[in-house]
Amino acid sequence: MPSPQRKSFDRIADCYDATRAMPDAAHAGVTGGLVRTLRAATVAPRLLEIGVGTGRIAVPLARSGIDVVGIDVAPAMLAKLRARRPGLPVLLGEAARPPFRRGSFDAVLLVHVLHLVPDPQAVLQAAGELLRPRGVLLYGREERSASPLRGVAAIVRSIVAELSHVEPPASVWNERAIEAFLAHARAHRRDTVESVLARWPERTTGRTLLDHIAGRVWSSTWDIPDAIMPELLQRLAPRVEALVGGLDRPVEWESSFVLLSSVPRSPAGRAAGVR
């Protein structure tokens, strides 16, 4: 199955933060967990975030005293970051070709990036080469328990296939990204540890989901042909209404931020965690 093409988030820079927001307590948990992980590796870590975007993760880390550098392919996203934190060094750059010397960082962080690039292994290889000898490679992602988003995504794929006569790829990009990260760690004889940094409740309605699809807020909707979008929404509305029990009925679920850490293998033994 082909990997997704590289996607720039410039098209939704104006609404990105609002549609990917976490509660303050969850955001503090994510920042605190990352700071602890980074400082466990070295006292004064220098961190590169690949796919830094608007600085949703990087800016709180910088405020916590972490030396953060960022790169992204989306100029409009970086403009939002510079407005928020003018002194944070960021560059326009490709994830698979970061413009830095080998061994420049104590840690490299990727959040919601690996499922968006054409070749996750190339990105991980490039990131690994930037690490110092005891450096840490980090992959952060959000997971949703019993969220209606998976059901809606499956319905969208089904209708798109009917209307365009093309079977869209299954929504397993996150799973492939995780496996790519674990495979890279195995290939480089590194241990992996998984931890949940925050959990929080989320709420939406079927109508909001439809609005997000119509507005192409989610990257998974960007490849839907414009010509079929009106028919897609017409067919989708009653099925979403049935799925969630009414377009204006609140639907709740639990989300979590999960961090995978790839660390140098200890001579004394293996670290506990995911391998």
Per-residue pLDDT of 218-241, as tens digits, reads: 888 888 899 999 999 999 999 999
The Cα–Cα gap between 259 and 256 comes to 10
pLDDT value of position 173: 66
Cα 102 to chain center, whole Å? 24
pLDDT value of position 30: 98
pLDDT value of position 20: 85
Q: Where are the domains of the chain?
A: 9-145+170-201+253-264
121 close to 4: Cβ distance less than 8 angstroms: no
127-156 CB burial, b ≥16 within 10 A, e <16 = bbebbbeebbbbbbbbeeeebbbeebbebb
pLDDT value of position 183: 97
Per-residue pLDDT of 243-256, as tens digits, reads: 999 999 999 999 99
The Cα–Cα gap between 236 and 116 comes to 25
pLDDT value of position 275: 40
CATH superfamily, domain 9-145+170-201+253-264, is Vaccinia Virus protein VP39 (3.40.50.150)
pLDDT value of position 268: 60
pLDDT value of position 90: 96
Residues of the chain falling short of pLDDT 70: 1-7, 166-173, 267-275
Q: What is the pTM assigned to this prediction?
A: 0.89
The Cα–Cα gap between 184 and 120 comes to 10
pLDDT value of position 7: 66
Instruction: Give percent of the chain with pLDDT exceeding 90.
Output: 73
CB neighbours of residue 275 within 10 Å: 13
pLDDT value of position 271: 47
Nearest CA to 111 out of 204, 16, 39 is that of 16
